[in-house]
Structures are given as structure tokens and as C-alpha cells.
Amino acid sequence: MQEILKLGTTTWTYVQEPNKEAIHKLAKKYDFHEVIVDDLLEINAQSKIDKNSNHFFLALTFTKYVEAGKRYLLNELDVIIGDDFIVTTIPLESLSFKGLLETMKKETLAPHESYKSSPYYILYRIIDSFYDKTMKSLAVSAKTLFAIQEDMSDKKVEKNVVEDLMTENLNKIFIKHNFLSQEDVLSELIEHIDTLHDKHLKVYYNSLKVKLSKIISTIKVLSEKNESLMKAYNTFVGIKNNDNVTRLTFVNAIFMPLTLIAGIGWMSERSMMTGSANWRVSYPLFILLCVAIGYITVRIFRKFFIK
């Protein structure tokens, strides 16, 4: 999918799920350097910036949250900027990107806001929309962890808690890696903006740096909370296992003396039936003895051991 938006003297070309043919057409139209073409065709594992080619190039590794699988996917944003154009490519659909396009289509610029038609202002709006979307997805993650914490407090721990905690932990590791790689790139981008001598843009990009710091700190806090919940879950499971062992020990302690008496009674069965003591008297006494010992054992364990 490709859309073109004209903002003042700047042309914004937005390409979703670009293929080789689309990239080569753009390269021919805007005379992209071969290094930029290679970067567009490949997946960049980390964010990068290139100010040395004939055009400005920026790659930022963003993430897309998939609700169905409760996981994040890599959604790399590639940006090429020239004097009067900006080209952006992204491999996965982004609702925030589409929303930004529709919003900017309806906007009208006042005479003193001519800087808002700059390619770098458009780039600011794009990055800002991605950061806002990331903060919303992190808020969803925070609610998930809070719900798990509440269940643990109410002792309603289900089997899927481990799966949820592991999924959340892997998600945090994944997005932390992506956003940590943006710190140095964003600093370089701000230095590049300084060379443009536009105070408006400098203020906007400094606000992006603040948002990125907030995102990274939020990820770290959620990661620590996730680890704490994992430890709490392991402790909870350990306590439950100890309780189960205690119950089994209690049951075994009750039946051990009864088993001993039953063994003695079995070995003495012949004498009970044929000896001087009649078996009609011996068996009832034998059963009463078992009941008495069992009752005494239960009372002792309830008073001392279980407490």
C-alpha cells in the first residue's frame, strides 16, 4: 500500500509492506544512494542513522503489539529525507500511522507555522505517534501484571500464570532491546536538527528524547515487577507444596501405627481363632484398639504438629 500526501512544499510518500519493485521505483525517482536501497531491502536489527549519503536516512526499530498472541513483533520504520520530500516505509500495518495520515490531511497551516511543512517536522510527528502508541501498549502490560498481582494476593493462582509471566518477561526483553538502540540514534538526530538552526524543531525533538527516556524507564520498572511476581509465584508454589507434604505426612503418621497393629494382628490370626481367647472377642477388641490409637494420633498431631 502506498499513499502520497502534499504538505506545503513537501511531499510525503508513505509505503506499507514495501516490496523490491516499490523500493527500486522510489530509488529511481528520488535518486537514492545504493547504501540506502540496501538498508531498505534488509531488516535492520538495531536503529541506525546515516547523514553521509546524498539523502538523510534513518531506521528506527519499533514494535507492534499483537493482542491475540500477547506478543510484540518488529515493525521497522525507515525514513529517507530530501530537500522537499520524505519517504517512509514500514513492513506491518500501523493504525497510529494511518491515524496520523488522516489527521495531517485535515490540518491547515497558519502563515507563521511554515516550519510544520518541513520533512523533519513530519518525521517528528511520526516518531511521536509511535512513542505514544508504545506507552499505551506498556499501560496494557502494566494492567496485566497488576491483575496477576491481585490474583496472587487473593490466592487465586491459576496454571496459566507462569505462561503469562514468561510471555510478559520475553516481551519486555524484546522491546527493551529495540528502544535502547534508539537512544544514541536519537541523540545524533538531535545534533543533526541543531545544524538546521530551527528552534521550533529543536524543542520538538528534545521532547522526543524525554518520551524515549520515559519509555525505557517504564520498561525497566515493568521488568523488575515481572521478576518480583515470578519470585512470588515460586514462593507461593513452594508453600503449597509444603502444605501438601504436611498433609501427606499427617495421613502417614495416622496410618503407620494402624499398619503396625494390623501386621501384628495378621500374624496372630491363627491364635485368635483357635487359641484360648475366642476370636469373636479378640477381633472387636482389635478393631477398637485401632480406632483408639488413630483417634489419639489425630488429637496429638492437631495439637502439636499441624499448629
The pLDDT of 126-144, averaged and rounded, is 88
pLDDT: which is higher, 289 or 223? 223
Query: Total domain count for the chain?
Result: 2
**C-alpha to C-alpha distance for 36 and 79, rounded to whole angstroms:** 10
Same domain? 219 vs 245: no
Same domain? 215 vs 245: no
- The pTM of this model reads 0.74
pLDDT on residue 213 = 92
Cβ atoms within 10 A of the Cβ of 103, count?
A: 11
pLDDT: which is higher, 234 or 208? 208
- Reported confidence tier of residue 159, pLDDT bands at 50, 70, 90: low
What is the residue range of 268's domain? 240-305
The CATH number given to whatever domain includes residue 123 is: 3.30.460.20
Express as a percent the part of the chain with pLDDT over 90: 18
**277 pLDDT more than 80:** no
pLDDT on residue 245 = 67
**261 pLDDT more than 70:** no
Same domain? 227 vs 261: no
**107 pLDDT more than 70:** yes
pLDDT digits (tens, 9 = 90+) for 36-83: 888 888 876 678 888 877 889 999 988 887 777 777 788 889 999 998
**217 pLDDT more than 60:** yes
Positive or negative, the CA dihedral 253, 255, 258, 263 is negative
pLDDT digits (tens, 9 = 90+) for 116-131: 888 999 999 999 999 9
Out of 215, 239, 263, pick the residue that ends a domain.
239
Residue 151: left (phi > 0), alpha (psi -120 to 50), or beta? alpha
Same domain? 190 vs 100: yes
Out of 193, 214, 239, pick the residue that ends a domain.
239
Instruction: Give start and end residues of each alpha helix (H) in 6-118.
Output: 20-30, 34-41, 95-106
Q: Worst-scoring range by mean pLDDT, 113-127, 211-225, 274-288?
A: 274-288
Same domain? 66 vs 167: yes
Average pLDDT over the chain, rounded to whole?
80
Pair 268, 296: CB distance under 8 Å: no
**200 pLDDT more than 90:** no
Same domain? 25 vs 153: yes
Same domain? 207 vs 298: no
